[in-house]
Amino acid sequence: MKIAVIGAKGLPPTQGGIEHYCAEVFPRMVAQGHSVDLFARSSYTNSSWLENYYFEGVKVISLPDVRMRGVDAFVTSALGSLAANGKKYDIVNFQALGPSLFTGLSRITSKSKIVVTCHGLDWQRAKWGNFSTRLIQMGERTAAHCAHEIIAVSNALKTHFLQTYGREVVYIPTAPASYAKSDPDFAYGSKLGLSRGKYMLFLGRLVPEKRPDLLVEAFRKLQPQNWKLVLAGGVSNTESFTSQLLEKVADNRNIVFAGELRGARLAEIVRGAGLFVLPSDVEGLPMAMLEAMRERIPILASDIPPHKQLIGGGRGRFFEAGSLESCIDELSWATENSTHMAAMAQNAQKYVNHNYSWDYITNETLNLYKTLLSPSHVELETKEKGLAGVFKE
């Protein structure tokens, strides 16, 4: 098969769950004999316009973009859709809802089968202004009406499309990214003033919907004895929020801001954590949590549906999303009941190893592609139905 990928920033991945997803799935497709072109942003790849290079067999094509928040993704996705139309791809796979605004264009102008992979309801994220939010919502509606098939990476997202649009979509999860080997002597962690098993870890972008501010406030009020809190993550168009957050932690020696970690340092800090905490209000299927589960790190998280999917059933502990009091109570319980938390972490590791495999995800995605291309396939949506109402409010 000849496959085009639109909506990812580029490869190799430096940040973002979508880029790590693409780095795992599409090279595996190439290894099985398929051809994959990924249309990327030149600002992310640091390449000239239309410059091509290969990442583990995937051809990365750098397209012009506009370095404006909320606009760059749409410009590159539009150009990618136009570029893909002339190359006779079997499959055009859009990543995320914003870029999916152009699924209608691809549906009209090409004979390719259009697939959308939904990693989350991005219009819920606080970093977007009203204009960008409306565009992403329009992208969701366009995908629901125009894509031949939609992949949802969590059960909650699958339910959203059914309840909102009456559309059945395919659930294929994501999986934990591969970690590098880490220093067995824990040298970097020691340099940060940390002790193995005695720090809580927040790992993710420092954005409002992930609620690192709630965790910081809960930690400050609880002041758990001999524990520290590590914030590890980059900034994503939320400089003001991040600045205010760092001002709060500047005078607290027990709160460590590690910045964006990669490679061996990332692996070392995750593997040394005594508790992984994800207080998010909004998630798709959080790759960072999957990684912590694989590494057998005890987990405490907000009680939103994607988190319940991963650590429900005795694989972790929950607190009420957005509740400072509930967060404090559960942090206290987790730090005082390490034996129970370790048993949950062991259950979580077994669960993720059994249910979340990149090889499985790749093969399920390829099977979906093949079904769409089979002569006997009957489209669920006709073109007339697909285009009706795309731009309705």
> 353: which 2 tokens?
């190893």
Domain boundaries, given as residue ranges, for the chain: 2-175+357-387, 187-355
Other CB atoms within 10 Å distance of the CB of residue 168: 12
Determine which helix (DSSP H) or strand (DSSP E) holds 231, and give its type and residue range: strand 228-232
The residue assigned the tokens 């595996």 is: 28
Other CB atoms within 10 Å distance of the CB of residue 378: 5
Which residue pairs from 280-283 have beta carbons closer than 8 angstroms and sit at least 24 positions apart in sequence? 280/204, 280/209, 280/210, 280/211, 280/304, 280/307, 280/321, 281/209, 281/210, 281/211, 281/321, 281/322, 282/120, 282/121, 282/124, 282/125, 282/209, 282/210, 283/120, 283/154, 283/307
**What pLDDT sits at residue 381?**
45
> 288: which 2 tokens?
């960072």
Determine which helix (DSSP H) or strand (DSSP E) holds 35, and give its type and residue range: strand 35-41
- What's the CATH number of domain 2-175+357-387, 3.40.50.2000, 3.40.140.10, 3.20.10.10, 3.90.1150.10? 3.40.50.2000
**What pLDDT sits at residue 126?**
65
According to DSSP, the residues that pair with 5 across neighbouring strands are: 38, 93
Whole-prediction pTM value? 0.89
Contacts of 297 (CB under 8 A, 6+ apart): 201, 270, 271, 273, 274, 275, 276, 345
- Give me the phi and psi of 107, to 5 degrees please: -65, -40
* Per-residue pLDDT in tens (0 to 9) along the chain, 393 residues: 999 999 999 999 987 789 999 999 999 999 999 999 999 999 889 888 889 999 999 999 999 987 766 677 888 999 999 999 878 999 999 999 999 999 999 999 999 999 999 999 987 776 667 878 898 999 999 999 999 999 999 999 999 999 999 999 999 999 998 889 999 999 999 999 999 999 999 999 999 999 999 999 999 999 999 999 999 998 776 778 989 998 988 889 999 999 999 999 999 999 999 999 999 999 999 999 999 999 999 999 999 999 999 999 999 999 999 999 999 999 999 999 999 999 999 999 999 999 999 999 999 999 999 999 999 774 444 444 555 455 444
| Topology, domain 187-355 | Rossmann fold (3.40.50)
C-alpha–C-alpha distance, residues 126 and 130, integer Å: 10
C-alpha–C-alpha distance, residues 237 and 209, integer Å: 13
- Give me the phi and psi of 196, to 5 degrees please: -55, 135
Indicate if 187-355 has the same CATH topology as 2-175+357-387: yes
C-alpha–C-alpha distance, residues 131 and 103, integer Å: 19
C-alpha–C-alpha distance, residues 360 and 256, integer Å: 37
Query: Are the beta carbons of 93 and 3 closer than 8 angstroms?
Result: yes
Hey, is 266 helix, strand or coil? Answer: helix
Other CB atoms within 10 Å distance of the CB of residue 285: 24
Residue 357, Cα to own-chain centre: how many angstroms? 16
**What pLDDT sits at residue 15?**
72
> 389: which 2 tokens?
């109402």
